[in-house]
Amino acid sequence: MKKLYSALMTAFNEDGSVNLDGVREMVRYNIDVNHIDGLYVGGSTGESFMLSTEEKKNIFKVAYEETAGKAHLIAQVGSLNLNEAKELAKYVTDLGYPMISAVTPFYYNFSFEQIKNYYNSILEGVDNKLIIYSIPALTGVALSLDQFAELFENPKIVGIKYTNADFYLLERVRNRFPDKLILSGFDEMLLPALALDVDGAIGSTFNLNAPRVKEEIAAFEAGDIKKARELQTLSNDYITDLLNNDLYPTIKLVFEKLGVHAGYCKEPMSKPTPEMEAGAQKIYEKYFKK
């Protein structure tokens, strides 16, 4: 069966400091309730691009300890600071993470040669496997088929977290690289990604919605496309409601209603408002209340 990864969130206290106990609770929920296949730690869902190196290390350590081998772990170590990315890659590898990931370097309109050097530099002296985190809508970096091929010349680069609405490119990548790991990154487009033979998916909404998504994957693999479509529609209704209520704070508010201390988001992300609280209550009652 194709693998499902939750993009792990970070719990913050109201003052913006990391709440490691809350991180532990979210890891446990994903393992004990969601029965998740894996966790993607340190990604954008974890608000990691607003964290210090030490905060990132603490989260990687807590996630590793709390998972205790019960789920596969991928550490997102990418950073505009290449030295930090290299330091984090070594740190998580020494901890025991079996795979790392790195977002394409963004903002400065880097050339492909610079991007290639970035990935190869992260992997120098690190005995680990890496998947490219490709998310063009947020980074402005849209890698081509031939550029993926050139990056794959490094044997340590084994796949892609593919968060891209270009499904023509996805088909071309899957066809050209049948042995590479491709994990879909758009929760709302999981079903068409499954049809293009991705190996699984990573997503923020799976923190709450994993059981329904695993049912969808099972239906797809059993050839019950009608049921899979119905489940994707239900998931997309849920995703729409989250987006309309402010995605990350709302997931954390619903977590709280499920007894998980997910805390706050880090500013400049939003603090909960009464309207947001009311919206989260409706989402909880509609999709998760037993």
Q: What is the pLDDT of residues 245-278, one digit of tens each?
A: 999 999 999 999 999 999 999 999 999 999 999 9
Residue 192 token pair: 């068409």
pLDDT value for 19: 98
Provide the 10 A C-beta neighbour count for residue 50: 16
Q: How far apart are CA 140 and CA 12, in angstroms?
A: 28
Q: Does 45 carry a binding-site annotation? A: yes
- Tokens 């010349």 correspond to 153
pLDDT at 223: 98
- Alpha-carbon dihedral 202, 197, 138, 277, rounded to 10 degrees: -40
Query: Rounded to 5 degrees, what are φ and ψ at 61?
Result: -65, -45
Please identify which of the residues 133, 238, 248, 284 carries the catalytic annotation: 133
Residue 202 assigned ligand-binding role: yes
Average pLDDT (145-160) is: 98
pLDDT, the chain, mean: 98
Asked if the bond preceding 272 is cis, omega within 30° of 0, the reply is no
CATH classification of the domain holding 148: 3.20.20.70
Per-residue pLDDT, averaged over 191-220, amounts to: 98
**190 — pLDDT class (breaks 50, 70, 90):** very high
* Residue 187 counted as an annotated binding residue: yes
CB contact at 8 A, 115 and 105: yes
Q: Is 285 annotated as a binding residue?
A: no
Exposure of 170 in the CB half-sphere (CA atoms within 13 A) = 25
The answer to whether 44 is annotated as binding is yes
Count of CB atoms situated within 10 Å of the CB of 235: 23
Distance, CA of 39 to CA of 65 (rounded, Å): 13
Residue 118 and residue 110 in contact, taking contact as beta carbons nearer than 8 Å: yes
* Residue 167: band (very low, low, confident or very high) from pLDDT cuts 50, 70, 90: very high
The mean pLDDT value for 152-163 works out to 98
Question: 111 is in which domain, residue-wise?
Answer: 3-287
At residue 225, the pLDDT reads 98
Task: Pick the catalytic residue from 56, 161, 214, 266.
Answer: 161
**pLDDT at residue 89 is higher than 80:** yes
| 161 catalytically annotated | yes
**Catalytic-residue membership of 64:** no
pLDDT tens digit string along 18-36? Answer: 999 999 999 999 999 999 9
Give the mean model confidence (pLDDT) for residues 118-127.
97
16 SS3 class: coil
pTM above 0.85, yes or no: yes
Any residues with CB less than 8 A from the CB of 218 and at least 6 apart, and which?
1
Q: Which two three-digit tokens encode residue 75?
A: 């550490």
- Can you give the pLDDT at residue 290? 75
Number of domains in the chain: 1
Q: How many CA atoms lie within 13 A of 265 on its CB side?
A: 20
Confidence of residue 181 (pLDDT cuts 50, 70, 90): very high
Classify residue 133 as exposed, middle or buried by CB count within 10 Å of its CB (0-12, 13-18, 19+).
buried
Helices (H) and strands (E) in the chain, counts: 12, 8
188 is in an annotated binding site: yes
- The confidence score (pLDDT) of residue 158 equals 98
Under 8 Å between Cβ of 65 and 33:
no
